[in-house]
Amino acid sequence: MIVHEILNESTKVLEAVGIPSARLDAEVLLAFCLSCDRLEFFKNPEMQLSLTQQAAFQKLIDRRLRWEPVAYITGRKNFWTFTLEVNKDVLIPRPDTEVIVEEVLDIAKKSEVAGIKILDIGTGSGAIAIAVASEIPHASVMATDISPAALEVARRNAESMELQNKIDFRHGDLLEPVEGVFDIIASNPPYIGAVEYKELPEGVRLFEPREALFAGKSGLEFYEKIIYQAADHLKKNGWLLLEIGATQQKDILRIMENSGFYDNIEMRRDYAGLPRVIKARRKVSG
Ligand code: SAH
């Protein structure tokens, strides 16, 4: 078979089970299978596939038909300006999370602190910590996670970008493994509540780590803990930045205000116009 035919055929099969990005997924998987760029298919639609190549591609399509996310099949995901290794032990980093990276960089740029200290709680693949470390040469970054397997992936990702000496990875529960104070604490913690968890798309619910998603009955468990624990680890006038679910803004603002630790509380929307990041400044007193 030739590329053009095999892509049309596999797109149809993926569409038939309801996969929304069928054509793109087929192209990405074929490019991965042939170790080439997707552009090759436009330049060369008549390219002939060997039987071995066809069989290997079919195996990838079969995995996608069972809703396995493309990033787990290929083992990689683009984030910020780089490509991260991902596997079933880490959440696949989402484009929305680039908003919190932008906010961290914005604060860091305005800061006059030499050797700015930044903490990423629940680092997963290392996405936020690595993006920040790659952009701010003078930053020292710490990143924590409760999952040793996720930390292994994050460490490998840092090494592949030669950032391992700039990021101190720590294993443990939220801020428990952390000592010292920071200029910025950022986190994209689990934030899916019990009802929403049941309603997640199959590809997410069946494949992504539950401990990266599930956050107790209300979905707010981690925010509450982080908001209180971070107060002890922020410099005066330091910033806490939290990625939030689109419907959680009110509840999280309430927790922040009730804590009495923060002022200058602001919300930033993502590029779809949904509430995505809350940032707040540690008060000088309180
Ligand atoms: N920051 C990454 C991953 C977000 S998923 C990204 O934006 O892509 C949330 C992460 O929090 C997961 O890696 C999960 O293992 C971690 N996590 C869950 N409970 C935790 C806890 N109690 N302490 C620290 N990390 C935790």
Q: pLDDT in tens for each of the 286 residues of the chain? A: 999 999 999 999 999 999 999 999 999 999 999 999 999 999 999 999 999 999 999 999 999 999 999 999 999 999 999 999 999 999 999 999 999 999 999 999 988 888 999 999 999 999 999 999 999 989 999 999 999 999 999 999 999 999 999 999 999 999 999 999 999 999 999 999 999 999 999 999 999 999 999 999 999 999 999 999 999 999 999 999 999 999 999 999 999 999 999 999 999 999 999 999 999 999 987 6
In testing the pocket of ligand 1, which one of 82, 187, 211 has its CB within 8 Å of the most ligand atoms? 211
Q: Where are the beta strands (DSSP E) in 38-113?
A: 76-79, 82-85
Question: Rounded to an integer, what distance in angstroms lies between the CA atom of residue 90 and that of residue 155?
Answer: 12
Q: Which residues have a Cβ under 8 Å from the Cβ of 228 and sit 6 or more positions away?
A: 259, 261
User: Residue 236 is inside which H or E element, if any?
Assistant: strand 234-243
- The verdict on pTM exceeding 0.85 is yes
Q: Whose CA is nearest to atom 22 of ligand 1?
A: 173
Confirm if 92 and 86 have CB atoms less than 8 A apart.
yes
Confirm if 127 and 135 have CB atoms less than 8 A apart.
no
Count the neighbouring beta carbons within 10 Å of the beta carbon of residue 149.
Answer: 13
Task: Give the angle 193-195-199 at the CA atoms, nearest 5°.
Answer: 105
In testing the pocket of ligand 1, which one of 85, 88, 123 has its CB within 8 Å of the most ligand atoms? 123
- Whether 122 is in the pocket of ligand 1, judged by its Cβ within 6 Å, is yes
